[in-house]
Amino acid sequence: MPHNNAQMVVDKKHGLIVSSEVASENNDLNQFHRQIRQASEVIGDKPKVVCSDSGYYSLEDLNQVEEDSMVVMPIQKQAQKENGNPPIKPFVKGQFRYDSSQGEYGCPGGKRFSYYSAKAREMTYKANGKDCRKCPHFCVCTSSRQGRRITSMREEPLKKRLEAISCLNENILFLKSIRAILRLLKSFHKI
């Protein structure tokens, strides 16, 4: 049985629905760029700020949004929490800092991860195995004798930018009003 999912874009200033459609998807993934593009066509201009809830969190889709539009969306950790994904473990990638000037990661223990390999959409960085085996966190951080590896998506700069701007309180409140409208629309759809 196909699922119907109501999508809409609302103008914050006037509180008006700019565009809407019913998508035949069971979630909001990969709808964000399409909805923003349709709304832009209706109003004849690109939005300066676009907001959504974490259900739209897909870096591949968000990467298609125009550079001159600021995207405000809950960070990936909140998206994972809302989508029921497992809690964050110690020594997750977020605790390792990327140094763009050196092109390498640094671990919480102060060791460096150098570039190791690349695939179509990701790059891998690896620590020295000897350093990892001497670390007091060995077996908690990694059990690999060759050393800990960090894989980074090519869209990582976009991800960081989204996380940096997602904490704007005014827009978070706006998102709550959008959720309320979406719940109302879903209840009308069931009637």
User: Percentage of the chain with pLDDT > 90?
Assistant: 8
CB 39 within 8 A of CB 31: no
Instruction: Taking residues 163-170, report their average pLDDT.
Output: 59
Domains in the chain: how many in total? 2
Residue 13 lies in a domain: yes
Residue 63 lies in a domain: yes
Residue 12 lies in a domain: yes
Which of 14-18, 104-108, 161-165 has the lowest average pLDDT? Answer: 161-165
What is the per-residue burial (b if ≥16 Cβ within 10 Å, else e) of 155-190? beebbeebeeebeeeebeebbeebeeebeebeeeee
Residue 81 lies in a domain: no
Residue 88 lies in a domain: no
Residue 39 lies in a domain: yes
For residues 17 and 70, state if they share a domain.
yes
CB 62 within 8 A of CB 83: no
For residues 127 and 177, state if they share a domain.
no
Half-sphere exposure of 96 (CA within 13 A, CB side): 21
The alpha helices in 86-168, defined as continuous H runs, are 129-134, 156-165
Q: Residue 66: its pLDDT value, please?
A: 74
Domain that holds residue 57: 5-74+166-190
CB 3 within 8 A of CB 25: yes
